[in-house]
Structure 1
Amino acid sequence: MAIKVIGFAASTCAQVVLMTLNELGVLYEFEEIAYEDIKKPEYLAKHPFGQVPVLIDDDFQLFESRPMSIYLAKKYQGTKTSTILYPTDDLRKAALVDQFISIEYSNYDVAIKKIAVEEIYTKFNGKTPVQENIIAGREALSKVLDVYEKLLEGKDYLAGDFSLADIFHIPYTYIFYQRNHRDLWDDPKRPNVARWWKNLSGRESWKKILHKYEGKFL
């Protein structure tokens, strides 16, 4: 049975999992679910919070995109491609990847979602975005990117080699880079951040998602 991912093409979390699978060279089925169906009992049996995505691998089910991606990397990396997204033979390298996964979740994602709440979710709910909140989000993200500039010194990727830690940054960054916020990543004062984003956005695994689903993006 092929791996199945259930979700929305517009979901940044689903995109993370699909990109992970693309990097690993693993075949999968992507089943798009209607928004109104995620609160129905049959879907809640798969994801009790009624969110996306859900991963089905034979008789195993998993929700939450970060654990899903870690599971996929540990199980399939090196079997279809030479890409290693989560080191399993070097404790220190694995710890560095974990460190940057945690930083993405606790700092980068928190900051960028301040913008997302206003520019995506507030509009989606038919309300007017609060410009002051967008400015505050930009300021928060700018401070995070100042730290990233130092963390990326002498490196192409956060943990040295390309890893899941990098993948987890891509979908939301792409959305706001394409909007009116690319100056945050292209700031001349942050050449390391600019180089890092150029490397990430140029990955073939990401381009496959853009080619197939970009018209459905947020």
Structure 2
Amino acid sequence: MAIKLIGLPHSSNTLGIVLTLNELGLPFELEPVTDLKTIKTEDFLANKHPFGKVPVLCDGDFVIHETRAICRYLVFKYQKDANVVLIPDDLNKGSIVEQYISYEISYYHPALHKILYQEVFNKKNGIPVDEAVVKQGLEDIEKVLDIYEKVLEGKDYLSGEYSLADLLHTVYAHVIYASTAHSDIFEKRPNVKRWIANLRN
């Protein structure tokens, strides 16, 4: 039975899973959510996600939700067959990758989300941009990337080798370049610039 991904087609969370599926060479069916009422039904809440959220991944009879949990599941189940290593089996190396996955969800993602929600989502939907929120997001990401600049010294990727941690940083980096005027946050830091260039290639 094919892997099915239920999600909002242009959501960064959906796209992160799509990148993981592609990296692992896995065929899948995307079931786009076009009406949010469909994920609030009793059946969906009982069988897919109790909070009525997406994305949700169905792999045969197995159902899992939450983006990073889905990505980890796919890696642990399929990376050996795909002959790629997104989370190393070695405990120490794998734990370092998990450390940087935590950086992404705890520091990088929240800072960029403030910017992108205002400058992409709000603009698209005719909602006024709250410049104070954008300013705070820029201040936050500057602090985050100052630390990343040190972490990336002498390395092409966060843990040295390309991993799920790097992959999960990719979507928001692409959106910053494609949809905002803030790519300088990456470009002015040589180590971060090199890393982002690697992710975007």
Q: Distance in 2 between matches of 1:95 and 1:196?
A: 20
In the alignment, what sits opposite 2:54? Answer: 52
1:65 aligns with 2:64: no
- After TM superposition, the structure 1 = structure 2 runs for residues 1-218 of structure 1, keeping only pairs within 5 Å, are 1-36=1-36, 37-45=38-46, 46-80=48-82, 82-88=83-89, 90-123=90-123, 126-178=126-178, 179-187=180-188, 190-202=189-201
Deviation at 1:42, TM superposition (A): 3.3
- 8 Å CA contact 1:177–1:185 kept in 2: the answer is no
Deviation at 1:127, TM superposition (A): 2.9
Question: Match for 1:108: what amino acid?
Answer: Y
- 8 Å CA contact 1:7–1:53 kept in 2: the answer is yes
In the alignment, what sits opposite 1:213? Answer: none
TM-score by length of structure 1 reads 0.86
Among the aligned pairs, what percent are the same residue? 46
Question: Match for 2:183: what amino acid?
Answer: R
User: RMSD across aligned C-alpha pairs, in angstroms?
Assistant: 1.5
Measured against aligned partners, the alpha-carbon deviations of 1:155-183 in whole angstroms (never above 9, x if no partner) come to 11111111110111111221112221111
Which structure 1 segments of 5+ residues have no match? 203-218
Q: Distance in 2 between matches of 1:181 and 1:120?
A: 12
Q: Distance in 2 between matches of 1:71 and 1:138?
A: 32
Question: Match for 2:100: what amino acid?
Answer: F
Measured against aligned partners, the alpha-carbon deviations of 1:97-138 in whole angstroms (never above 9, x if no partner) come to 011011111111121112133223444664311112211211
Which structure 2 segments of 5+ residues have no match? none
Q: Which of 1 and 2 has higher RCO (CA within 8 Å, sep 6+)?
A: 1
Aligned residue pair count: 198
Q: Distance in 1 between matches of 2:118 and 2:69?
A: 27
Question: Match for 1:146: what amino acid?
Answer: D
